[in-house]
Amino acid sequence: MKALIALEDGRIFEGRSFTGHGEVYGEMVFNTSMTGYQEILTDPSYKGQIVTMTYPLIGNYGTNNRDIESCDIHAEALVVREYEEAYSNWRADMSLRRYLMVHNKLGIEQVDTRALTRHIRLKGAMKAAISTKDLDPGSLTAKARSSPGLVGRDLVKEVTCRTPYIWKDDKITTLNAHTLQNICKTKSRDLRVVVLDCGLKYNQLRLLEKRGCECVVFPCTASKDELLSVEPDGVFLSNGPGDPAALCGIVETVKGIIGRRPIFGICLGHQILGLAVGGRTFKLKFGHRGANQPVKDLETGKIEITSQNHGFSVDDKSLPPEIEITHINLNDHTVEGMRHKKFPMFSVQYHPENAPGPHDAEYLFDRFTEMMRQCQRERT
């Protein structure tokens, strides 16, 4: 059925829905990955955004119940050039169309995604509306303009877990007040990591567990005392959606942890750390989203090809002297990594958990676990 895409600047794109009727709003962004659409859709960082895939053929390997990064689809809608219903993959459980419909999400095809992507690159990411119901360009454009957008929005509270839990072997065990009190008496792994869930991806937990870490996950509303009450060896700050400048409460919590435990932050976690040490963040013109972003390690000179998904960045000029920039993006020279010169703390803007994307930066999880073990040795 016919669908209309209206951007807030009045640009209109036509397509057809392959998932039924609907009307949604969000910030229109594009992702340059050739594969990994299921991981992208289930990445909580896409909350409030409509994702356009630049690769023209999407859906040809279907979906399954293993390649997920959260328990839901968080992108508001998916826009593609051509949807392929006849999927072929021995691991597949259902088609992409069926997967989107199960989660009540719009899928739009037969859109000129090259023109749409070029428009965003020139004009910047902008608010958009998609509808199969309202096909009046003027009306739909007005709806796009009146939608909330991302700037100033705290979307983390919409994607965080509601209660603490332990992650083990891809399974979640919810913790209540009693089990939280007793958790310090037993440790199932060499290291215990407290994970602040700002919209985390499951593969971050998988890679930490693979390295001997017991992962205790807390919602974003947890206080400093709650996070430290389980006697962690380190604190992990996850990725997540929305504007980091709107997360004043989380920033204050992280301020109270700096220097008390080793900290590793990814994406939004990196931005939160930047704000916690006194820096500022700003919105990028169209963001970095894809599995082919070149990042330079300033210490080694090595170039990493990285997976990224963010629309905000830490302002390097706002960071205090005790913070050292460790990585930069080679496309626009924005900050991609930093560390504290005194305390055991570092972060990266990109996604080393490679889901989807290259494995170049997975070593950062080794760096974090070694940092925690070093601090363990110093305490004893």
State pLDDT tens for residues 195-218.
999 999 999 999 999 999 999 999
What pLDDT, in 10s, does the model give residues 220-278? 999 999 999 999 999 999 999 999 999 999 999 999 999 999 999 999 999 999 999 99
Structural domain boundaries in the chain: 2-146, 156-379
Domain 156-379 sits in CATH at 3.40.50.880
> What mean pLDDT is predicted for residues 341-353?
97
3-state class of 3 per DSSP? strand
3-state class of 270 per DSSP? helix
CA distance to 17, 24, 28, per residue, from 77 (Å): 10, 7, 9
pLDDT value of residue 186: 76
What pLDDT, in 10s, does the model give residues 33-91? 999 999 999 999 999 999 999 999 999 999 999 999 999 999 999 999 999 999 999 99
The count of other CB atoms within 10 Å of the CB of residue 229 is 16
Would residue 267 show up in a list of annotated catalytic residues for this protein?
A: yes
Would residue 351 show up in a list of annotated catalytic residues for this protein?
A: yes
Would residue 21 show up in a list of annotated catalytic residues for this protein?
A: no
pLDDT value of residue 181: 78
Q: Enter the pTM of the model.
A: 0.95
CATH topology of domain 2-146: Glucose Oxidase; domain 1 (3.50.30)
Which among 74, 76, 267, 304 is annotated as catalytic?
267
Give residues with Cβ within 8 angstroms of 273, minimum separation 6.
237, 254, 263, 265, 338, 345, 347
Which among 119, 288, 327, 351 is annotated as catalytic?
351
